[in-house]
Amino acid sequence: MQLTRRGALALGAGFAATMLLPFGAAQAAVDEALAAFTGGAAIGEGGITLTTPEIAENGNTVPVTVSAPGAVSIMLLAAGNPNPGVGTFNFGPLAASQSATTRIRLAGTQQVIAVAKMADGSFVRTANEVKVTIGGCGG
- Of 98, 99, 124, 128, residue with least CA distance to 113: 128
Question: Which residue, 97 or 121, is less far from other proteins as judged by CB?
Answer: 97
Q: Does 95 bind other proteins (CB under 8 A)?
A: yes
Counting residues that bind other proteins (by CB under 8 A) gives: 53
- Of 114, 112, 109, 113, residue with least CA distance to 133: 109
| Rounded CA separation 66/96 (Å) | 14
Q: Does 11 bind other proteins (CB under 8 A)?
A: yes
Site for other proteins in 64-93 (CB under 8 A): 65, 78, 81-83, 85-93
Give least dist CB 102 to other proteins, A. 5
Near other proteins by CB under 8 A, which window of 20-28, 39-47, 114-122, 130-138? 130-138
- Of 125, 120, 84, 87, residue with least CA distance to 103: 87
> According to CB under 8 A, which one of 63, 119, 121, 129 is a site residue for other proteins?
63
Bridge-based pairing of strands 110-118 and 71-78 is antiparallel
| Rounded CA separation 110/28 (Å) | 15
Q: Does 3 bind other proteins (CB under 8 A)?
A: yes
Inter-residue contact 97 to 65 (CB < 8 Å):
no
Q: Which residues bind other proteins (CB under 8 A)?
A: 1-5, 7, 10-14, 53, 55-58, 60-63, 65, 78, 81-83, 85-97, 99-106, 133-139
